[in-house]
Chain A
């Protein structure tokens, strides 16, 4: 399909109207997935709606004690926000593993989410963080958990005319922190063979009071492994609790064999990475003292 128009709306309402009026139109923020897919023929956008000129979509603001990250905010900008880095280091590090520096100067977490790849690096960290996203559409605004957006590889739950306008991170609870790790054959410039995000809270005695573990590239979508979190809650991160957590992660894996990894390797690495990620988050939370 030939590209017929490149729109640069200045309000969310205009953008929604453009998307609703043309089912072939696709929103563009960084374009690091969309443009590559258009060039390779994988995406047939009939029109592009560039959301970067919409006021308020590029930047991070606080929302009480939480954060609202505009959908057009590039990943590298996340690193510049000291409060965000202090509260959600795992989310920031996950978003800054995507592609290369040049890619991250354009790429956004909202785009990473809406591309609906099970291997999206920022998504397990966002899911573990309990992030939500704001969606604008023809029938108004709604807010859903991040994990509700991808439903299958390259498929989202967004309805016609809808677009993600922001990602919201909650208030960082005391004694909590997060982390994200991925496995790739090289050291950078790669797609996760498997990824794991952990977000935990530790009390003054070093006991885990809450834990959310999410894994990427191990199932058709990023998976929040609730049993893994439960296995840690109430524990002091002893070997038995950690192994139970890792086993829950492995149980939740439904990966495929492909050029980037085998089923067996992905399942095994999901467990290894989940353990390592939890230990990094625990150290950041001050729980190892």
Chain B
């Protein structure tokens, strides 16, 4: 399996070696967030609100403090009084005061599960017992969880001072709507009126959770010298550092974050919940403190992705050329604003050439947890609506839905919604590959239906640092700061080894703590293999230059007479012409030629390219019960060039599976009391292995010319198309349009019954 697939151009890029972290993980030895223990550590526990919305009249901790074994208690009053300030958070900017108040409520609790006090004790049992001794006097307030309910004028308000941003005039009254954004082009209303065919419909979906297996956990010690050490798993140790330092009002350099192995993040670990609380407990107790969430805490208090209500009107001419799109979407953000509404807007219609469009996004606050990023955050919801409408429009015009997309797809040079032209994109190639694939023409039996959809995700570049160091024996170390959530150690090792001309096994990759390598933005936005990969390649090239100079010194020749090939220096001129020096030879003499050999490279590339995906799905629908089962699924994606094809295919398969779960069964179910009815994996139904066929991954390699090895981001776009793909398949199998997710058996059954 390690044979190169592109012998002509690369030795290692495109091969499938075993991942460096694999053995530790499959033998259960890898240390994940909740595994970490520090000497003399206390166990913390968090008191969480039973109410979805209440004013905190008082919190009496006296009885809890008197319990033997309790070493520290923290409430919102212990947090520094933060001004509202917008800072970089995860993949986007956000208000640090909102984040702090999400870690610990101040004044009001805003959702069931909102933290409002914490205890550190000598055992978990004592910490739990102490929570029961804390008296909270709540003034229970009316609550609201649904999007449309929260938008009503008479809805209970989360904040008296929230005035919708982005309206033409500042509203006179506060509301739960935090923002409206809009982008228009041409005359949408007129174009819809003159269109040969139009489709208008509403699409809805509840919030869904990222569903990582590893719950949030951390150990923090606030040391006697005033500096903090933090051990946690996250998508970015530097991101944790900046958020913790800002919330606690300490110098960034005084916070050192040690990254632990991450058991799934999918965007949900681009923020923090526990670390500042553990830090304040540690400061009071003078000992390290561990905090962990259990599964119910994860569901009740960590970020779901926004639910959505989306209205779409789409029009085309008689040949199927799209002429206008009017999209109005409303996203539920939970307790505070985020970036999904912006991302939803730029992901809405930009993958098609449409002369006239009006896209309007509303961000709505309600008594649910503060939402968090989830894999292509903000794109799947609006894409579900747009692609579903497009499938209906194709059916109305009698045009094959893939042909409909081929007629309208953007190509290099067309304009993105965010104002720059598309580069070397491969949407058309994906669509044509799907059309030509045997899956698309395979016959279907009774009660079976086929669906397709297509999607875009912007991807990202962003700042990254990596260093390459040569050991005394010539071994090669790559040191970087991006947690490995999808096989990036393997891709970094491949790129370093390819550049240096050495074997994959000669490279060791370390994910370093924030005190051991320069800054890298977090692992997110499908950026790491692209941007951090560039830093690794640059650092490796610098190390080659250093080693050429050292070889020149050893040979007594000009550096211009030293070439680098096959992992060694080769003398090309003078007396020593034809001689070679291996990395080991050069390293052994490093002290006498100038000292240790290493290089660090910091980059901030913005020449990333977006991702495109086209999915085909076949479902069987049981006509008596409404159960939809996925019979066949094929995912096509413009992947740039696959550095490690297995992990690219893994991303495509994993994204498809998460999207299938979103389409079929996953949902946050809030009851009338505003409490989450399904805070566990039993009733929050992610797909299990037996629910799914093998997901066939078809990689379309159209390299990014701006990356030495052609990398484009691949991790996020595959979660976008499954929602509309599955809904289209079920619609075709049943003859009823599927516009509300999830497509649970009882919902499909009900729609089939009402049609019959």
A residues sitting closer than 8 Å to B (CB atoms) are 183, 185-191, 193, 259-262, 264-265, 268-269, 272
Contact = CB atoms under 8 A, between A and B. Distances in A.
Nearest to B667: A259
A91 B750 CA distance: 31
A92 to B, nearest CB: 19
A260 B664 CA distance: 14
Contacts of A193: 745-746
B27 interface: no
A189 B688 contact: yes
B685 A185 contact: yes
Given A183-B627, A188-B690, A265-B749, 20 more contacts: A183-B625, A183-B745, A185-B627, A185-B665, A185-B685, A185-B744, A185-B745, A186-B665, A186-B685, A186-B687, A186-B688, A186-B690, A187-B691, A189-B682, A189-B688, A191-B683, A259-B669, A259-B677, A259-B678, A272-B624
A189 B685 CA distance: 9
Contact of B691 (A186, A265, A272): A186
Contact of A261 (B624, B629, B677, B746): B746
A190 B682 contact: yes
Nearest to A99: B682
Contacts of A261: 746
A146 to B, nearest CB: 25
Contacts of A188: 688, 690
A186 B685 CA distance: 8
13 contacts: A183-B627, A183-B745, A185-B627, A186-B687, A186-B688, A187-B690, A188-B690, A191-B683, A259-B669, A259-B678, A265-B745, A265-B750, A268-B749
A190 B685 contact: yes
Contacts of B687: 186
Nearest to A265: B746
A269 B625 contact: yes
A268 to B, nearest CB: 7
Interface string B40-63: 000000000000000000000000
Contacts of A187: 629, 688, 690-691
Interface string B601-645: 000000000000000000000001101010000000000000000
Contacts of A189: 682, 688
B208 to A, nearest CB: 15
B57 to A, nearest CB: 26
A172 to B, nearest CB: 30
Interface residues of B, number: 21
Contacts of B625: 183, 269, 272
A63 B63 CA distance: 60
A257 to B, nearest CB: 10
Nearest to B680: A40
A102 B34 CA distance: 23
Interface in B651-677: 664-665, 669, 677
A87 to B, nearest CB: 28
Nearest to B125: A2
Given A185-B744, A186-B665, A265-B750, A260 B688 contact: no
B17 to A, nearest CB: 33
Given A187-B688, A188-B688, A272-B624, A259 B683 contact: yes
Contact of A260 (B683, B690, B691): B683
Contacts of A183: 625, 627, 745
Contacts of B691: 186-187
Contacts of A265: 745-746, 749-750
Contacts of A269: 625
B18 to A, nearest CB: 28
A105 B644 CA distance: 39
A170 to B, nearest CB: 32
A118 to B, nearest CB: 16
A247 to B, nearest CB: 15
Nearest to B624: A272
Most buried by A among B625, B669, B683, B691: B625
Interface in B675-710: 677-678, 682-683, 685, 687-688, 690-691
A264 B749 CA distance: 10
Contacts of B690: 186-188
Contacts of B678: 259
A230 B658 CA distance: 47
A208 B685 CA distance: 40
B494 to A, nearest CB: 37
- Sorted nearest first, the 8 A-B pairs with minimum C-beta distance are A265-B746, A187-B690, A259-B677, A272-B624, A187-B691, A185-B665, A259-B669, A189-B688
A260 B678 CA distance: 10
A181 B700 CA distance: 43
A9 B740 CA distance: 55
Nearest to A268: B749
A229 to B, nearest CB: 22
A189 B744 CA distance: 16
B633 to A, nearest CB: 15
Contacts of B682: 189-191
Nearest to A183: B625
A260 B682 CA distance: 10
Most buried by B among A187, A193, A261, A264: A187
Given A187-B690, A269-B625, A262 B677 contact: no
Contacts of A190: 682, 685
Contacts of A259: 669, 677-678, 683
A24 B696 CA distance: 54
A268 B626 CA distance: 11
A262 B746 contact: yes
A269 B625 CA distance: 7
B233 to A, nearest CB: 24
B360 to A, nearest CB: 33
A259 B625 CA distance: 17
A185 B622 CA distance: 12
Contacts of B685: 185-186, 190
Most buried by A among B665, B688, B746: B746
Contacts of A272: 624-625
A42 to B, nearest CB: 12
A139 B744 CA distance: 50
Nearest to B687: A186
B289 to A, nearest CB: 23
A261 B744 CA distance: 10
Nearest to B296: A40
Interface string B731-756: 00000000000001110011000000
A259 B690 CA distance: 22
Nearest to A275: B624
A260 B744 CA distance: 10
Contacts of A186: 665, 685, 687-688, 690-691
Most buried by B among A185, A259, A260, A261: A185
A272 B687 CA distance: 24
A26 B43 CA distance: 30
Nearest to A272: B624
A259 B744 CA distance: 11
A269 B745 CA distance: 10
Contacts of B683: 191, 259-260
A265 B625 CA distance: 9
A182 to B, nearest CB: 11
Contacts of B624: 272
Contacts of B664: 185
Most buried by A among B665, B678, B691, B745: B745
A259 B676 CA distance: 11
A190 B688 CA distance: 10
A260 B624 CA distance: 18
A262 B749 CA distance: 11
A187 B622 CA distance: 13
A188 B685 CA distance: 11
A97 to B, nearest CB: 12
Contacts of B744: 185
A262 B627 CA distance: 15
Contacts of B677: 259
